[in-house]
Amino acid sequence: MMKTEIGASGKSQSQATPRKHRVMVVDDHPIVRQGLALLINQESDLLVCGEAEEATGAMHVLASAKPDILIIDISLNGPDGIDLLKNIRNSNRTLPVLILSMHDESIYAERALRAGANGYIMKQEATEKVLVALRRILGGEIYVSDRIANKMLKHYITGSGTLRHSSIADLSDRELEVFRLIGEGHGTRQIAEELHLSVKTVESYQAHIKEKLSLRSARELMQHAIQWNMNEKTA
């Protein structure tokens, strides 16, 4: 007669509670982290195992939390989410990462995927879609919105239709981060401190941005950046 194996908890293996997938959340807004934790922890197959508010802290938490998947916001204090993702990919090529952002996906989704993300979702989406994205990525899929998926498919088939948003798409990841901070009213020295760069390096990025966007002065650069940020928030 076949015997049923009993674990230390006294339950048979067939009755044992399924292992939950461990999720780590990196976002600089406590209310967002708390909201995601409440959403995720009520699921039978998911559990938040760690939180961080910035990139350096995230690397420390990552080592001890041992997550199965990360949720990373692009806009962090200091190095942004894309920088954090690249840093993670230097040591771990396979850890699934979902990028969460308020920024226009037509600009950032492709950048995030190129940097090694497994998915991109905007904060404006319904909370249930975060759960859908997590489960799809844990299942080995890539998650993006239908709109971005269609554009990527068009580009793959025709070799055209790249995900562009005027000349902003020509900016590098770091240039785009500097541009965003300028639009939020940050001065050169403040940007340098926030991104842990020298003032001279930030000035170099500003010069490259002006050249790529055909802007003639720092004043035009600031006006253009502020307008772009305003459009981002109302998109």
Kindly report the CATH number assigned to the domain that includes residue 105: 3.40.50.2300
Average pLDDT over residues 38-60: 96
At 25, give phi and psi (nearest 5°): -115, 130
Higher pLDDT, residue 134 or 122? 134
Q: Which of 96, 130, 156 lies at the terminal end of a domain, its last residue?
A: 156
Question: Same structural domain for residues 37 and 82?
Answer: yes
What is the mean pLDDT of the segment spanning 46-56?
Answer: 95
Whether residue 12 is contained in a domain is answered as: no
177 and 150 both lie in a single domain: no
Examine the pLDDT at 66 and tell me if it is beyond 90.
yes
- What is the per-residue pLDDT across 155-200, written as a single tens digit (0 to 9) for each? 667 655 444 445 787 888 888 889 989 988 889 999 998 888 899 9
Which of 92, 124, 156 terminates a domain? The answer is 156
Which residue would you say has higher pLDDT here, 121 or 77?
121
3-state secondary structure of 75: coil
Shared domain for 145 and 176, answered yes or no, is no
pTM beyond 0.85, yes or no: no
Look at residue 104 and tell me if it is in a domain: yes
**Is residue 231 very low, low, confident or very high in pLDDT (cuts 50, 70, 90)?**
confident
The CATH number that applies at residue 192 is 1.10.10.10
The residue type found at 224 is H
Residues 86 and 183 in one domain: no
Based on the fold, state whether residues 185 and 134 are members of the same structural domain.
Answer: no
Residue 25 lies inside a defined structural domain of this protein: yes
Instruction: Tell whether 226 is covered by a domain.
Output: yes
Clarify whether residues 124 and 201 are in a common domain: no
**Bridging pattern class, strands 119-122 and 97-101:** parallel
**Angular region, 159: left φ>0, alpha ψ -120 to 50, beta rest:** left
Beta bridge partners of 52: 26
108 and 223 both lie in a single domain:
no
What does residue 114 show for φ and ψ, rounded to 5 degrees? -65, -30
Could you tell me if 63 and 111 lie in one domain? yes
Same domain, 141 and 26: yes
Range of the domain at 197: 168-234
pLDDT for the residue 2 = 42
Higher pLDDT, 77 or 85: 85
Please name the residue that has the structure tokens 């922890």: 41
Residue 22 has pLDDT above 50, yes or no: yes
Per DSSP, the three-state class of 136 is helix
Q: How confident is the model at residue 234 (pLDDT cuts 50, 70, 90)?
A: low
Q: What is the pLDDT of residue 164?
A: 46
The per-residue pLDDT for 216 is: 87
Domain end (from 102, 133, 156): 156
Most confidently modeled of 55-69, 72-86, 169-183, 212-226? 55-69
Tokens of 231: 């459009």
In 10 A of CB 158, how many CB atoms? Answer: 8
Whether residue 149 is found in the same domain as residue 187: no
**How many helices and strands, by DSSP H and E, does the chain display?**
10, 5
Average pLDDT, the chain: 85
The number of folded domains in the chain is 2
Residue with structure tokens 């998911």? 46
Does some domain include residue 3? no
Q: If you average pLDDT over residues 214-218, what whole number do you get?
A: 87
Same domain, residue pair 132 and 175: no
Instruction: Give the span between the Cα atoms of 87 and 52, in whole angstroms.
Output: 15
- 198 and 133 share a domain? no
